[in-house]
Amino acid sequence: MIRILLLTTFAILWTGMAQADENTAINHAWIREAPPGAPTLAGYLCLDNKGEAEVTLTGVSSPAFKRIMMHRTKTVDGMSRMLHQNKVIVPAGKQVCFEPGGLHLMISAPEHRLVAGDQVELILQFSKGPGKHIQVPIKAL
Q: What are phi and psi of 2, to 5 degrees?
A: -65, -40
CA-CA distance, 24 to 94, in Å (whole number)? 10
Is residue 2 over pLDDT 80? no
For each of the domains in the chain, give its residue range(s) and CATH number, in order of start. Answer: 2-139 (2.60.40.1890)
114: how many CB neighbours lie within 10 A of its CB? 20
86-133 residue pLDDT tens: 999 999 999 999 999 999 999 999 999 999 999 999 999 999 988 899
Is residue 37 over pLDDT 90? no
**pTM of the entire predicted model:** 0.81
**What percentage of the chain carries pLDDT values higher than 90?**
74
Instruction: Return the pLDDT at 76.
Output: 87
Is residue 135 over pLDDT 60? yes
Identify the CA nearest to 122 among candidates 112, 139, 135: 135
Q: For 115, which DSSP code? A: -
